[in-house]
Structure 1
């Protein structure tokens, strides 16, 4: 229910803004209000579509003009049209069509044609209504239809990016898990930690990977291996804080400065420190590094935190 209320608020706002940003023509307003009404119906169904359209229509009615009643009715009708199409596709088992930009284009196109017909039928005098529709029909039908389709296209692009991101995330995590399974069964020591660090390094393509226990470096692979020597005692306060607080620490090199505690000439510029747990006990850390002037990828950060 909460998501339907959110849809109502969002697309009612679209309707109202579409009116305010409209162009005054012959005591009427050429606008993009239909985008909010139709999209509200497509996403929320008939009830939400009616509510969005009615809200946008009543707002338009308060602004007056000889088309006030006609626009109030037509905007409500556009929301209902979107809601009817929502029901239609759900009943046909084709809900994916609700997110098809071309479907959205045609639904909005039909809704705008209906609006023009309502203006001709309801607005008086007819001659003035006919003149208005002759002037605004083509640009409003095209602008609203294209605008709604573009809006849906943007949502689709975001969805595709998220799915690709999730697939990459899952693939990397699965690869690491498959390659690492069974290694630590033989003990948490330098030899096994080096194998794990090498796998993480190869799968994530970060600048460097280190694994420590609670006292010393067990493994290090990548940039800086010349001075991050194995069995060297932990000297980084951030690493100690991560273990003591059981907390992930991200040193981005900007807002949270990173400076290698071993060598001032170290080429590493940022670090992500993850406490390594067995049950509720922190037994060490896994540390991912990137060189200076290179940011951590969002995928690697999310995967490390997971």
Structure 2
């Protein structure tokens, strides 16, 4: 065994790790790595960097009987795993062509060139898999080991005479497969740390938006959106986020400026970023402004991130957060601004809903709306906050579920939605309670395809909530099964749990006019179904000591048929 090969491979891998450490220290490289949407300019820069690494690996390789023991494959495959298919394929092609040109007609030249480009193809193909699995060490090791083994096989097949090819493979197989596989894990790990650092920062920002919303709840509950309320919220945001400034606007002018923006404390009018945010209804990042814009001077040293505040699908204002320029990435700030604006918007909608409750005609629907209570909000926020520390990706998914839940919760009582929209709302609720109760709760949901049925909004969730809280979760291990089936003239929605059953007195009291009875949530849904669809279409309940099944029969009728 030639230990000189092992020594050379070890030195080359050490060199690559050192290069990776240096590259990861450059702000521009870190920014490109963590930013998912790379520009053409960014891709060109990455192609140049990784191609240079690949070429260097060709020259620093150790010559073995006409072959070169090298670390070329590490640069090729890392480029694909980190930067995507385009960069991976081009770097693979550059590495293959260069390997061919430095030893034209060489003993193993063709086999090594082909395997190099093959490495680029594999990295491009497995880019999504490796990224989704967060650059798992065992995946990187195994993929590299397989590619290097294929290279050895190609040398045996393509290099003649076979006896010499066999001797070469015998010398270089172990050092190249083992060391390059380990080197891939180490080299990619440097860039993985940059990505992890960014994801952790995003997770902290998502958690921060919840903490800020909790502190702002007393202001938000009033539903007031004016200079005084915005100034108070701005100060709270600055205290938590440590950003440079926070600005709130309505559709016409600036309402408050918190933080240091120079001479802008009494500024009026509407900055360009606010207009753009309201027009596009999305988060906007601005690094400079025209000379006649209100924010021209502050944006010389700061960056502004604006997000819309939306109520009843209408933009009523914007929140603009100012941060320092020249950050590695603004992604965490974008997530922060987006999440915070959505939470504030939701709370303003809830405040509006509270004000409008007294105008609702049907007391049944008031009771349904009142089920959206602070306990559920705080339970959900606390659950998501715990996920932020452990799993930021799941926290973002739960944030989306919470936004979906609130958005559907405040729909008009008379709104008809598709059965799939209603079940989306139910699914959002179940995601939140599943995150809260964990393995204690098993949920199954089966929804038929192409069920053309309109359903009154908020009709299924109270039934599901009853099954979870008063049924499944009274057991050590609970389950809830939800099925939606097409029955021709109607859709049948069944909710089943393994709880202790519903008391006979509650079932018999579904038609009672007393709003203080037990099971008021079920009674409200029961009476609402009968009011809309007729006396024969209330809840059908089968309950025993081992579980309960509730059926909702939804006739397939249109909006005109529901006008009463």
> What is the TM-score with the length of structure 2 in the denominator?
0.34
1:238 aligns with 2:262: yes
Deviation at 1:200, TM superposition (A): 3.5
Contact 1:38 1:79 in 2 (8 A): yes
Structure 2 gap segments, 5+ residues each? 1-36, 248-255, 268-291, 310-314, 338-564
Deviation at 1:130, TM superposition (A): 3.0
Q: Secondary structure at the match of 1:238?
A: coil
1:170–1:237 distance in 2 versus 1, CA, 3 Å: closer
Alignment of 1:94-105 (within 5 A): 96-97=132-133, 99-105=135-141
> What is the rounded CA distance, in whole Å, between the counterparts of 1:171 and 1:126 in structure 2?
62
Alignment of 1:24-173 (within 5 A): 24-39=63-78, 52-64=91-103, 65-82=106-123, 86=126, 96-97=132-133, 99-173=135-209
Partner of 1:259: none
1:156–1:48 distance in 2 versus 1, CA, 3 Å: closer
Q: Per chain length, whose mean CA-contact separation is higher, i.e. which structure has more relative contact order (CA < 8 Å, sep 6+)? A: 1
1:247 aligns with 2:295: yes
Partner of 2:237: 200
Contact 1:53 1:76 in 2 (8 A): yes
Q: CA RMSD in A?
A: 5.4
Q: Secondary structure at the match of 2:262?
A: helix
Q: Secondary structure at the match of 1:99?
A: coil
Contact 1:242 1:249 in 2 (8 A): no
Contact 1:249 1:272 in 2 (8 A): no
> What is the rounded CA distance, in whole Å, between the counterparts of 1:219 and 1:79 in structure 2?
51
1:9 aligns with 2:47: yes
> What is the TM-score with the length of structure 1 in the denominator?
0.56
**Cα deviations across residues 46-101 of structure 1 (Å, max 9, x unaligned)?**
x98666544422221111132212212332343445456x39x86xxx97348322
1:35–1:202 distance in 2 versus 1, CA, 3 Å: same
Q: Which moved more, 1:73-82 or 1:164-173?
A: 73-82
Contact 1:248 1:274 in 2 (8 A): no
1:113–1:198 distance in 2 versus 1, CA, 3 Å: same
> What is the rounded CA distance, in whole Å, between the counterparts of 1:12 and 1:63 in structure 2?
15
